[in-house]
Amino acid sequence: MAEVVTIPLPLLKEFYEHFYRIEEIIATLEELSDEEGLKRIEKSLDDYTKKEYVTVKTPEMIREAMLKD
Asked whether the predicted pLDDT for residue 1 surpasses 80, the reply is: no
Q: Is residue 21 part of a domain?
A: yes
Q: Is residue 4 part of a domain?
A: no
Q: Is residue 2 part of a domain?
A: no
Q: What is the pTM of this model?
A: 0.50
Q: Is residue 59 part of a domain?
A: yes
Residue 32 has what pLDDT? 87
Q: Is residue 28 part of a domain?
A: yes
Q: What would the pLDDT profile of 9-65 be if each residue is shown by its tens digit?
A: 999 999 999 999 999 999 989 988 889 988 988 999 999 999 988 899 999 999 998
DSSP string computed for 2-64: -S-----HHHHHHHHHHHHHHHHHHHHHHHHHSHHHHHHHHHHHHHHHTT-----SSHHHHHH
Residue 18 has what pLDDT? 94
Domain of 48 in residue numbering reads as 9-68
Domain count, the chain: 1
Asked whether the predicted pLDDT for residue 5 surpasses 70, the reply is: yes
